[in-house]
Amino acid sequence: MIPKGKLANKLKIQILAGGISHERDISLKSARRLSDALTEAGATVIIREPDANLLANIKKDKPDVVWPVLHGASGEDGALSDILALSGVPFVGASASAARLAWDKSIAKIIVERSGLQTPPSITLPKDTFRELDADGVLKAVTSSLALPLVVKPARGGSAQGVTIVKKADQLSHAMIDAYVYCDVAIIERLVVGTELAISIIDLGAGPIALPAVEVVPQTGHFGYQERYTAGETQYFVPARLTKAVAEKAAKLAIQAHEALGLRHLSRIDMIVDAKGVPWFLEANVVPGLTETSLLPQAVVAAGHSLGSVYLQLAQAALRSR
Amino acid sequence: MPNTTANNFDDWLDLYAQRANTLSVSEVRALFAVVSRPEVVSLAGGMPYVHALPKQTIEDSFKSLMRDRGDLAIQYSGGQGDAKLRDQVRELMALEGIKSSVEDIVMTTGSQHGLELLSGLFIEKGDVVLAEGPSYVGAIGIFRHYEAHIEHVETDNDGLQPEALEETIKRLKAQGRRIKFLYLVPNFANPSGVTLAAKRRARIIELCRKNHILVIEDNPYGLLYFDKKVPNALRSMDENVVYLGSFSKILAPGFRVGYVLAPPAIVQKLVLAQESAILCPSAFSQMLISEYLSKSDWQAQIETFRGVYRERRDAALSAMKEYLPKLSTTKPDGGFYLWITLPDGIDSKAMLPLAVKELVAYTPGTAFYGDGTGQNKLRVCYSFPTPENIKVGIKRLSNVINLQTELQATFGKKGTK
């Protein structure tokens, strides 16, 4: 149950969106959807770019709460959270230190694993590693250790940009290049085949709760950029088609990951449930997408809530956690 | 287990026309969202430098239009377009040797709309459209949408090669393919920047005439030459050539005014198609341009543009020489673009995220081919950034290419996608 907030309270919310990242476009789309929902719920909303006028705009707008919807670096790497904390304005989302841990998928995997959860075996390779080592040899060793098929992804980034599923060994070199153009560190992970899930976590002040899991079934078999943002290219099942026991296990894992990483207010935990019903943690998103095809809004609606009401309560929670 | 119904966010998937499948979101397009940020030097979009326009003259034209003919300007108008502007367009085309009648001119919502209307009239699924290799990305989008098979014809520094055209036509005819038209941008082509040599023009027309292939000549850049005037238009040599013109580059794209000069039978169908699609092009935009052309020394303004773009072309070529001396680039005598060839094995589309990280944007070569080729090419547009920013942008581009070359060297050229 979501505790009822004071919906009549007229909050002034400044949304930060855009930025210089590969996901700028998605950030702007998310911001406009968030703004629509908050406005309908009674809030006053201003959308701003996080540019040289960031602090001046906060002074000028005097928002009750700032809501950063910046995907990619500067939005999710904790830098912005640090600046917002310094400015003393309450903001929605993870603290700088928690965001830093979650933003780097390789670090998030270690933390979540240490808390007792399963995550697919992987190897993290900074680009510079290959300056001194023989790339062919390293990649052969990786393939032999992890076994095909593999997933190669940038350690930092979102929207599946730079992500490749590698089914044959000779695809690995290209996959590495595609990941390194987005980030200097790449993760090579064993591909776990199963039900792809996104579990959104919200915390309105009474502790984190898991919203119904969204099951993702992309037409092409790979939930890439195009499949994420083109209506019709992916089927979503909410709640996911899981047995009650597996669904509960997955929800528990998601909350545990959210807590292990020290996240607050909201997050989205992506995972795969294998054929034996075992959930595997893949990554945590501290600034989940809020576009019309994004996963968190679907989960909110499936839980029987209105987007505006939940978003407003999240803003109120941020105000309280000042 | 819950009996959940799938949601795909589109309840009309079973109702769309098949050609709607040609439309989908693109990661590359999303990356271009950053170009609006001032930190990024955009060498991507083909935007004219509208700051060089005499805003006061445009404002005066607006005021006098609204004062004298305001009610007409904001009313519906004819499907063929404003008669006075069509007459002025005749003068404009005469600069490139074209003789025409106002009756054979149709005003459109940018020349892009003219090409869209023509494609709707001529292309059926599977028809062949011949185009330069590389060709204008906006044209490729339209041809794809009409489910044409795009066949590129090889070009060199003198533009489309007649021998290659002849061989392509022969090969396609032997395969029983139906070729509808040849689409080309003969002057300072987008993206290559090259101009079709005068001696090739007559031969190309002859080949198309002989094989009953319509020629569509798209000429937005012809008046933007730097030193030497371009050869006369293909349309000046054959009245059956369909000519597309535009005010987007010689004035401003915000007006969305272009025009088509075509044989009378095609004009008749174009007007009907336009009326069916949009009723009429914007009377307001057309009349404002007409007023501007009447009141200003527009030829002097085009000369100003030539000076601006010449300086930027020089800045781009000089930066290429300084930062990327080993790469080959075209050296345009007009227009907006450099067409750059990257080291073997470097994929410009795959490299774009790295460029965005380094705060520079360009257009990957594959955008200009309908068949997925052009990976090791990229287009640099020098029309909009200042000469100083062009230098900064190309310096950043050189860093990006070096980083990508290093990556490529590390992981080798072998392997598959």
**Which CATH number covers residue B249?**
3.40.640.10
Report the CATH number at residue B28. 3.90.1150.10
Which residue in chain A has the smallest CA separation from B26?
A226
The tokens 């915000």 sit on which residue? B254
The DSSP symbol for A100 reads: H
pLDDT at A143 over 60: yes
Domain termination site, one of B262, B295, B328: B295
| B48 shares its domain with B96 | no
Per-residue pLDDT tens over the stretch B88-124: 999 999 999 999 999 999 999 999 999 999 999 999 9
The DSSP symbol for B254 reads: G
Q: For the residues A16-45, what does the mean pLDDT come to?
A: 93
Per-residue pLDDT tens over the stretch B369-383: 999 999 999 999 999
What pLDDT is stored for residue B417 in this prediction? 60
Chain B positions touching A22 (Cβ under 8 A) are 30-31, 34, 353, 356-357
Q: Are A299 and A238 in contact (CB under 8 A)?
A: yes
Per-residue pLDDT tens over the stretch A277-302: 999 999 999 999 999 889 999 999 99
Chain A positions touching B8 (Cβ under 8 A) are 231-236
Asked, for residue B203, whether it belongs to a domain, the answer is: yes
Chain A positions touching B44 (Cβ under 8 A) are none
Domain A12-93: give its CATH architecture: 3-Layer(aba) Sandwich (3.40)
What pLDDT is stored for residue A131 in this prediction? 77
| B182 shares its domain with B40 | no
Task: Tell me the DSSP string of A105-172.
Answer: HHHHHHHHHHTT-----EEEEETTHHHHS-HHHHHHHHHHHH-SSEEEEESS--TTTT-EEE-SGGGH
Asked, for residue B417, whether it belongs to a domain, the answer is: no
Domain termination site, one of B274, B295, B316: B295
Domain termination site, one of B295, B330, B347: B295
| B264 shares its domain with B380 | no
| B234 shares its domain with B130 | yes
Dmax over CA atoms of chain A, in Å, equals 63
Q: Cis ω on the peptide bond leading into residue A149 (within 30° of 0)?
A: yes
| B307 shares its domain with B266 | no
Q: Per the structure block, which two tokens stand in for A85?
A: 């904390």
What pLDDT is stored for residue A8 in this prediction? 45
Work out the pLDDT band at B4, boundaries 50, 70, 90: confident
| B310 shares its domain with B288 | no
| B129 shares its domain with B209 | yes
Asked, for residue B173, whether it belongs to a domain, the answer is: yes
- Separation between Cα atoms, residue B55 and residue B39, nearest integer Å: 27
Asked, for residue B85, whether it belongs to a domain, the answer is: yes
- Separation between Cα atoms, residue B106 and residue B162, nearest integer Å: 30
Residue B43: partners with Cβ closer than 8 Å, 6 or more residues away: B360, B361, B362, B380, B381, B382, B385, B390, B393, B394, B397
Chain B contacts in chain A segment 226-245 (CB below 8 A): 226, 229-244
Interface residues on B facing A, Cβ-Cβ cutoff 8 A: 1-2, 4-10, 13, 24-27, 29-31, 33-34, 37, 39-40, 350-354, 356-357, 359, 404, 407-408, 410-412, 414-417
What pLDDT is stored for residue B127 in this prediction? 98
Which residue in chain B has the smallest CA separation from A230?
B25
Per-residue pLDDT tens over the stretch A58-67: 999 999 999 9
**Domain count of chain B?**
2
Domain range for B202: 71-295
| B109 shares its domain with B226 | yes
Per-residue pLDDT tens over the stretch A219-277: 888 888 888 878 888 899 999 999 999 999 999 999 999 999 999 999 999 999 999 99
pLDDT at B416 over 80: no
What pLDDT is stored for residue A9 in this prediction? 57
Asked, for residue B280, whether it belongs to a domain, the answer is: yes
**Where along chain A do its domains lie?**
12-93, 100-118+192-305, 122-190
Per-residue pLDDT tens over the stretch B294-347: 999 999 999 999 999 999 999 999 999 999 999 999 999 999 999 999 998 899
- For domain A100-118+192-305, is the CATH number 3.30.470.20? yes
Chain A positions touching B27 (Cβ under 8 A) are 161, 225-226
| B156 shares its domain with B253 | yes
| B100 shares its domain with B229 | yes
Q: Which CATH class is domain A122-190?
A: alpha beta
Indicate the pTM of the whole model.
0.90
Asked, for residue B225, whether it belongs to a domain, the answer is: yes
pLDDT at A70 over 80: yes
Q: Per the structure block, which two tokens stand in for B249?
A: 């580059």
| B47 shares its domain with B78 | no
